[in-house]
Chain A
């Protein structure tokens, strides 16, 4: 492991003008030359990542060649639709809003999820809200064991460790949401001969914070190489609405609001960024600790979390395995 005398806290600073130009050039080449598509379609959630990708696609391709899809469902925050519309209006691109709740109901997404929650909390039903959470994995040597947090109609909160069946049931059912959104994106892409732009940032792409064949599926992923803090730098440069820049990142997946930190990262995103940078650049935990504001053993734990997440993420990224090579491909 490389030893540095210190890791500057601003090591993730980028030249946003240069990076914006680099990404827009890549988008143009990918969409027009490699994929031979006429434009780009993307789901816009009102979050920072999809907003930045919308701005970059518009810069690259022109506002006439970008379609923003607003795809809320009954558990979505009302801010998501409002802020997604704000992005489309600010850019002057076409947008289509489509409530995916009926499709999810038809697929019994909500029924399946609620049945899984009821394995742990039998009274769960109308008027209840839930989310799943992980314990803080950085403070102590703990396992990534999910609990369900349920808020009753009276506002009372109950937290219960999930059984394997309930955990898998909740996640599998909830994954319908991302997969249905992707289905709608590809419908419009087929209709318009557009490419589908994915919106994961580097943390999400690297550590598996996406659904296989859901938001993990796309024709191009323009910000997958950017650390979260770099996405924010680009957002400021591109002029993404301030309210979106200041919005707390959420998963916007569960009926009870869930931050990305409590679902997956166990750390504020800016610290996770630096830890991932340190891991990628083989910086010793002791050297990184002071820059991140953590103890050495905590950084070592995060390095371990990154390794185990990467192992699990391989399945999410894996292409279909063939028995033998097919000529012509």
Chain B
């Protein structure tokens, strides 16, 4: 994420971050289905060893199905951060955000569309 320049004395405060605006425009063109599909491919390739077998729905719980263990979760977090240019905070690492393709896709969409002020200004 581009660092936001600090306003010099007398200059108006910068009110938007150009790179994050461009990022939002780019990602708004990727609909939810694309992110969902990218996540599905990643999960199948990395945790189901390429064997989709039809048991992975968008709502399959990774925890309950035993698909992803604790180190697998770190791999998933690393993929999401690199692929979508977002930073996942520790308190965001909860099942409501990460535990299925659908939940994770929605979480990623929210992060992309509404980066926090800290993420804009860091």
Contact = CB atoms under 8 A, between A and B. Distances in A.
A96 interface: no
Interface of B: 63, 66, 69-75, 77-78, 90, 93-96, 98
Interface string A150-171: 0000000000011110011000
A26 to B, nearest CB: 34
A142 B94 CA distance: 5
9 contacts: A135-B90, A141-B94, A141-B95, A142-B94, A143-B93, A144-B73, A145-B90, A163-B74, A311-B66
B76 to A, nearest CB: 9
Q: Which of B74, B77, B96 has the most CB of A within 10 A?
A: B74
A164 B75 contact: yes
B63 A145 contact: no
Interface string A188-217: 000000000000000000000000000000
Given A144-B70, A145-B93, A146-B74, 20 more contacts: A141-B94, A143-B70, A143-B73, A143-B98, A144-B73, A145-B73, A145-B74, A145-B77, A145-B90, A146-B70, A161-B90, A162-B74, A164-B75, A164-B77, A164-B78, A167-B71, A167-B74, A168-B71, A308-B66, A311-B66
A135 B95 CA distance: 14
A312 interface: yes
Contacts of A135: 90
A163 B63 contact: no
Given A135-B90, A143-B93, A146-B70, A308 B63 contact: yes
B93 A142 contact: yes
Interface of A: 135, 140-146, 161-164, 167-168, 308, 311-312
A158 to B, nearest CB: 14
Contact of A164 (B63, B74, B94, B95): B74
Contact of A163 (B78, B93, B94): B78
A308 B61 CA distance: 13
A142 B63 CA distance: 11
A312 to B, nearest CB: 6
Contacts of B69: 308, 312
Which one of A135, A140, A143, A311 has the greatest number of beta carbons of chain B within 10 Å?
A143
A207 to B, nearest CB: 13
Contacts of B94: 140-143
A20 B10 CA distance: 82
B20 to A, nearest CB: 23
Nearest to A311: B66
A146 B93 CA distance: 12
Nearest to B89: A161
A144 B78 CA distance: 15
Nearest to B76: A164
Nearest to B74: A164
Q: Give the top 10 A-B pairs by smallest Cβ distance, nearest first.
A: A164-B74, A144-B70, A164-B75, A143-B73, A164-B71, A143-B93, A163-B78, A141-B95, A311-B66, A164-B78
A143 B94 CA distance: 7
Contacts of A167: 71, 74
Nearest to B95: A141
B12 to A, nearest CB: 36
A163 B72 CA distance: 10
A279 B16 CA distance: 53
Nearest to A134: B70
Contacts of A140: 94
A141 B74 CA distance: 17
A140 B66 CA distance: 20
Contacts of A145: 70, 73-74, 77, 90, 93
